[in-house]
Amino acid sequence: MSKSGKLSKETLLTIIGVVIIFFFRFLPAPNGLVELDMQIAGIFIGTIFLWLFVSTSWPSIIVIAALIMTPLYTTAQGLASSMGSWVTSFVLFSSMCTYALTKTGFLRRCAIWFITRPVAKNKPWLFLALFFLGPLVVGSFMSPLPTFIVFAAIAEQIYLELGYKKGDRFPQMVHLVILGLASLSTATTPIAHSVPILGFSLYEQDTGMPIDFTQYTIFGIAISVVIYFAFILIMKYIFKPDLDRIRNIDTDFLTKDLKPMGAEEKTALIIFGIVVLFWMLPGIVRSAFPNNALANYWNTLGAAVPPLLGTVALCLVHVKGKPIMDMGESIKAAPWVAVMMVAGTMLLGNALTHSDIGLTSWIVSILEPFVKGLSPMMFVFIVSMFLVIMTNFASNTVTVTVTYSFVLPLIYSGVIGGVNPAALTCVIGAGASLALATPPATGHAAVAVGTGWLKNEIMFKYGMALAIIQGLVLAFIGYPIAAAIMPF
């Protein structure tokens, strides 16, 4: 309630969303649907509404409660499929493992390493290329938010050293590319990245088959390399920044307070490296030895076990009498909003495809006249462009959930033939990560504008152009690669 006694905009939107969740079920059901279908549809529509216009935090909890109150789930079943999901645990424990790398200073060390290579001295474009490579490589195993914050802070040091001011063209272009590559890094690997993992889990719910981490990583690295070079070319030939000031930059000012890598930092890196190895090894071994018992056993444990064990190791191993990571501290630093959103999305996705719910069949019947007859590549192209546009106006998680829920049933039902569902799921998980054009799209986009070094209008104008290029790469390079290496 505002001071004038009138309802605030947020309060009004909250009431609308909650009413949709709990009372949509009483509307007359269209032909083909029953009251239970309307109840689930209301929970879906109301939750998406709240996520888009109110908050991505507490609506993730109310959706769990609302679904438990339906006939589909008991309390135990609802909590097991949301908070007890392996995806929720994966996001939590992998974030805790990567937190240790930030805490020990390894993330900043990596960032500085990229731009202090002697080979880049007096070569401004090579300097920028190495600097931009940093957030892509480091972000491949870190959350994009800390990745962007670290590289943006170093960029700001460079701007000030070179005498740039806020509003100048060069720092705006650099900030935008760092933002775009931090987002792109989320699509590179599934390591510590909840958005592709959420797509994996929805696919596994529907098919009973997991998407292999190694196969996805091949796809993710391929599209990321192409997009990275596209960004460099666009920066050089379209943005055309003046690099005279950067030509003779001396980067020693960045390394003067950088201490040698200590035992704590090295140990945290080794433990995290073992976690990554355990993520990737089953897929590699299974490819070479299809019936290897150890690989099959480790694969049955799932993706959440390696970071869980890594978290335990980081808390158990002591350096100079202190644990590398304090459990209480790391839990506080965990991205709980993302964890809760994933939990709510998991149960919501399960409800939409539940055998007692006819929503997906109904949606397929609505969309069929519009998409039937499309070639597989045209369909993939449309999905890719929809993804990169939607994710710049809605959260990554909402984009995955909505796109998967509407698109994959068309393939499973046979309306669209010739499309590899696993490969398209990879495209959806990757494409939903590529937000860079608006502040509400993702956390690090909001931070980018908040720094003052990137204006909204520049972000939107050039960010949408970069988003469209990413959509083209996803459709015509990414999907064929994924389809070639994934079972169909």
pLDDT digits (tens, 9 = 90+) for 364-410: 888 889 888 899 999 999 999 999 999 998 888 889 988 998 899 99
User: In this structure, are 397 and 436 located in the same domain?
Assistant: yes
The answer to whether residues 487 and 422 touch, using CB atoms and an 8 Å cutoff, is: yes
CB-CB contact of 231 with 466 (8 Å): yes
pLDDT-above-90 percentage for the chain = 49
% of the chain surpassing 70 pLDDT: 97
Mean residue pLDDT across the chain: 89
How confident is the model at residue 44, as a pLDDT? 92
Which whole number is the average pLDDT over 305-309?
91
Evaluate if residue 12 carries a pLDDT over 90.
yes
Whether the pLDDT of residue 247 is over 70: the answer is yes
Q: How confident is the model at residue 103 (pLDDT cuts 50, 70, 90)?
A: confident
Domain boundaries, position 185: 82-485
Whether residues 123 and 136 fall in one domain: yes
pLDDT interval class at 287 (50, 70, 90): low
**Is 153 found in the same domain as 77?**
no
By the 8 A CB rule, do 217 and 283 touch?
A: no
Query: In this predicted structure, what is the pLDDT of residue 4?
Result: 57
Continuous H helices in 163-262:
169-188, 194-207, 213-234, 252-255
* Average pLDDT of span 329-344: 86
CA angle 387, 391, 394 (to 5 degrees): 130
Regarding whether 209 and 68 lie in a shared domain, the answer is no
Decide if 132 contacts 181 (C-beta within 8 A).
yes
**Are residues 418 and 313 both part of a single domain?**
yes
The verdict on 183 and 223 lying in the same domain is yes
How many structural domains comprise the chain? 2
Average pLDDT over residues 230-254: 85
Query: C-alpha angle with apex 139: 301 to 350, nearest 5 degrees?
Result: 45
Select from 219, 178, 177, 175 the least CA-distant residue to 199.
Answer: 219
The residue among 58, 81, 104 that closes a domain is: 81
Residue 1 has pLDDT above 80, yes or no: no
Last residue of a domain, one of 81, 115, 136: 81
As a whole number of angstroms, the distance between CA 178 and CA 175 comes to: 5
> Looking at residues 206-231, what average pLDDT do you find?
93
Q: What is the mean pLDDT of residues 144-151?
A: 89
Position 245 pLDDT exceeds 90: no
Average pLDDT over residues 282-297: 71
What is the rounded average pLDDT of the residues 85-112?
A: 87
The per-residue DSSP string of 275-344 comes to HHHHHHHHHHHHHHSTT-HHHHHHHHH-TTHHHHHHHHHHHH-EETTEESS-HHHHHHHS-HHHHHHHHH
Predicted pLDDT at 314: 94
Give the pLDDT confidence score for residue 161 in this predicted structure: 87
pLDDT value, residue 283:
67
Same domain? 59 vs 162: no
Alpha-carbon dihedral of residues 370, 375, 376, 379, nearest 10 degrees? -40
Q: Which of 59, 81, 103 marks a domain boundary?
A: 81
**If you write DSSP's letter for every residue of 39-84 in order, what string do you get?**
HHHHHHHHHHHHHHHT-SSTHHHHHHHHHHTSTT--HHHHHHHTTT
Name every residue whose Cβ is closer than 8 Å to that of residue 58 and which is 6 or more positions away in sequence. Answer: none
Is residue 265 over pLDDT 80? yes
Question: Residues 106, 225: one domain?
Answer: yes
Chain Cα centroid distance, residue 7? 34
Please state the pTM of the whole predicted model: 0.84
The mean pLDDT of 259-282, rounded to a whole number, is: 88
Whether 54 and 116 map to the same domain: the answer is no
Model confidence pLDDT, tens digit, residues 458-469: 999 999 999 999
Q: Which of 36, 57, 29 is nearest to 352 (CA)?
A: 36
90 and 62 within one domain = no
Q: How confident is the model at residue 304 (pLDDT cuts 50, 70, 90)?
A: confident
Q: Are residues 179 and 41 in the same domain?
A: no
Q: How far apart are CA 103 and CA 112, in angstroms?
A: 16
Domain shared by 173 and 245, yes or no:
yes
pLDDT in tens, 36-86: 999 999 999 999 899 888 887 899 999 999 999 999 999 999 999 999 988
Band the pLDDT of 129: cuts 50, 70, 90: very high
Quick one: pLDDT at residue 346?
A: 86
**Best CA proximity match to 285, nearest among 277, 211, 309, 191:** 277
Please give the pLDDT value at position 32.
Answer: 86
Structure letter (DSSP) for residue 487? -
Nearest to residue 439, comparing CAs of 460, 465, 468?
460
